[in-house]
């Protein structure tokens, strides 16, 4: 325990910078993990809620890989102990008093309501992309009569241009159809979906699914079935269960 953390334990309030990871119920114990800048992790309670925090010696917190991972690890450990409302990386208050005055006190009721709302829920992040361009293009053009005709002709410059345009259009349609099928099947076992633009030319799905704990096995089984059916063309990754990063929208009031 460093000097700042010792003072926090003794006085219950310090003027050192307070880094906030997220919000939990007041009865949740702080994670044992080290936080950003190697600091210890504790909680600051306010009524029925508490902030998961680290007391820092400096306000110079940068988005370095080590600290980004520490932020994520603390939230994941808190999630294992109960509901946690994650805050974005870099949420910093000048003092514990400011944390109370600008976040916990004015928003306690809203935070308590959000904690209830996300009880028994977790985020599952799914990414899907085609293995390679050649395989998917072969799939796309295989049964298209116009593309087959153009590929078998003498292929003038105009025909080559038309062939490229058709292949690109069919590829986009095929990707949209695959994405709709994946999201639709997984969404049937989800409470809410947050879908973003897929990564790169071969990306199909980049989405987060809010899943009830009791439905997670069905979600996992459905994902396995989808991945098995598309294994010749598509690779999947799934990360979770996670805190509801994509769904718990918290105000950024009070950030330094």
Residue entry with tokens 């598309």: 230
Q: What is the mean pLDDT of residues 109-133?
A: 95
> Using CA atoms, how far apart are residues 208 and 236, in angstroms rounded to an integer?
13
Q: Torsion angle of alpha carbons 147, 152, 155, 158, nearest 10°? A: -20
138-166 b/e (C-beta count within 10 Å ≥ 16 → b): eebbeeeeebeebeeeeeeeeeeeebeeb
The H or E element containing residue 26 is none
Tens-digit pLDDT profile for residues 24-76: 999 999 999 999 999 999 999 999 999 999 999 888 889 899 999 999 999 99
Whether the predicted pLDDT of 19 surpasses 60: yes
> Using CA atoms, how far apart are residues 109 and 48, in angstroms rounded to an integer?
9
Tens-digit pLDDT profile for residues 229-245: 999 999 999 999 999 99
The H or E element containing residue 106 is helix 105-117
Domains in the chain: ranges and CATH: 3-117 (no CATH), 121-242 (3.30.70.600)
Model pTM?
A: 0.82
> Using CA atoms, how far apart are residues 107 and 251, in angstroms rounded to an integer?
9
Tens-digit pLDDT profile for residues 139-192: 777 767 776 666 665 566 666 676 677 777 888 888 999 999 999 999 999 999
Backbone angles phi, psi at 228, to 5 degrees: -65, -40
Sheet containing strand 234-242, edge to edge, reads 192-196, 203-212, 121-130, 234-242
């Amino acid at each position: 325990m460093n000097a700042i953390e010792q003072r926090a334990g003794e006085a219950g309030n310090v003027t050192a910078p307070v880094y906030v990871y997220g919000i939990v119920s007041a009865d949740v114990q702080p994670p044992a993990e080290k936080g950003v800048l190697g600091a210890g992790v504790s909680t600051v309670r306010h009524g029925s809620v508490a902030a998961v925090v680290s007391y820092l010696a400096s306000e110079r917190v940068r988005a370095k890989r080590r600290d980004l991972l520490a932020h994520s690890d603390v939230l994941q450990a808190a999630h294992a102990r109960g509901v946690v409302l994650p805050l974005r990386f870099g949420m910093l208050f000048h003092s514990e008093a400011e944390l109370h005055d600008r976040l916990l006190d004015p928003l306690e009721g809203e935070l308590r309501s959000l904690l209830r709302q996300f009880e028994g829920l977790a985020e599952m992040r799914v990414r899907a992309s085609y293995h390679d361009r050649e395989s998917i293009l072969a799939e796309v053009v295989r049964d298209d009569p116009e593309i087959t005709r153009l590929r078998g002709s003498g292929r003038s410059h105009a025909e080559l241009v038309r062939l490229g345009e058709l292949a690109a259009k069919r590829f986009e349609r095929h990707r949209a159809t695959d994405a709709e099928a994946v999201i639709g099947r997984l969404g049937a076992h989800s409470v809410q979906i947050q879908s973003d633009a897929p990564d790169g030319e071969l990306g199909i799905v980049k989405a987060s699914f809010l899943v009830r704990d009791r439905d997670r096995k069905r979600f996992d089984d459905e994902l396995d079935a989808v991945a098995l059916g598309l294994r010749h063309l598509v690779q999947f990754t799934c990360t979770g269960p996670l805190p509801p990063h994509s769904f718990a929208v918290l105000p950024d009031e009070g950030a330094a």
